[in-house]
Amino acid sequence: MNNWITAVFSPTGGCSKIATSIAGARMGSRIDLCSPQAPAEVAADTPLLAVLPVYGGRLPAIAVQRLRALQGQGGPAIAVVVYGNRAYEDALLELRNTLTGAGFKVIAAAAFIAEHSIVRSIAPGRPDSADIAAAVDFGNAVAAKLANGQPAPVSVPGNEEYRPLPQMPVTPMVTEACGGCGMCAIKCPVEAIPADNPRSTDASRCILCMRCVAICPRKARLLPPPAQAAFTERLSAVATEPKQPEIYL
């Protein structure tokens, strides 16, 4: 099983790095969950590697919705979440259950760390070389498990009654540096930025994925300073001790 399908929701790049490292030379087609997905079946002999970020202990609802468009035929899946060094709480269980409900058999799972998308001083530079090495080792271990014939499903931590989805208290603001190029509108995973008015943000749609902030060529998008300071103070109190990858095989 050398041609894995990878399904990745990676607004700021951390999930993409982990997915690439896990799949390695086994990577086949890649599905960008930051874009809408048409319903599609995944053959039973093709492993699916799903890598999603954690927002407040849960998965982004839009990513779950798009992942469900991929229907398994009883084939194997690898569930991976990536979080900003605080906690992944119910997210890995939610991902496993989502894949199982879509017709996959989850035979491996993992949680990796990436630089926090809002407070970049938390887990800076992650995934680092040690994280990448762990991801490569995990991918090799999964490949070995798949080669053994009938790989058993895995259990993962989490509560079946998931914690509530977090409410986004703020949206990124736009500074005078904005040139109106519209890149943020084109790349927003939830279409929260109107193409005809890229200086605005629809708060009812925004999931605070921080993609618009990360990709702006003029660095013209950022969180309002009071909100950024509040996030930094709160998360720095609970997320500074470096976490390590957790593997379930």
Domain assignment present for 87:
yes
Q: Is 96 helix (H, G, I), strand (E, B) or coil?
A: helix
107 and 203 co-located in one domain = no
Kindly state whether residues 208 and 139 are assigned to the same domain.
Answer: no
d(CA 17, CA 38): 24
Query: Taking the complete model, does pTM exceed 0.95, yes or no?
Result: yes
- The pLDDT, as a whole number, for residue 9 is 98
Residues 46-58 pLDDT 10s = 999 999 999 999 9
Number of independent structural domains in the chain: 2
What's the CATH number where 150 sits? 3.40.50.360
pLDDT at 197: 94
Q: Tell me if 131 is assigned to some domain.
A: yes
Q: What tokens does 87 get?
A: 């906690």
The predicted pLDDT at position 166 comes to: 86
Q: What is the pLDDT of residue 168?
A: 83
Q: Transcribe 56-92 into DSSP letters.
A: TTB--HHHHHHHTTEEESS-EEEEEEEE-SS--TTHH
Question: In the prediction, which pLDDT does 150 show?
Answer: 82
**pLDDT < 50 stretches in the chain:** none
Rg (CA), the chain: 18
Q: Can you give the CATH number for the domain in which 183 is found?
A: 3.30.70.20
Question: Is residue 231 situated within a structural domain?
Answer: no
pLDDT at residue 2 in the model: 67
pLDDT at 1: 58
Kindly state whether residue 104 falls inside one of the protein's structural domains. yes
What's the domain range around 65? 4-161
pLDDT of residue 240: 87
Q: What is the pLDDT of residues 34-44, one digit of tens each?
A: 999 999 999 99
Q: How far apart are CA 187 and CA 213, in angstroms?
A: 11
Both tokens assigned to 71: 């229907």
Neighbours of 5 (CB within 10 A): 21
Q: What is the pLDDT of residues 112-135, one digit of tens each?
A: 999 999 999 999 999 999 999 999
| Vertex 208 angle, CA 211 and 201, to 5° | 85
CB-CB contact of 52 with 114 (8 Å): no
**Tokens in use for 57?**
């202990």
Same domain, 106 and 183: no
Residues contacting residue 80 through CB under 8 Å, at least 6 positions apart: 15, 18, 19, 22, 49, 50, 51, 52, 95, 109, 110, 111, 112
Residue 236 in domain: no
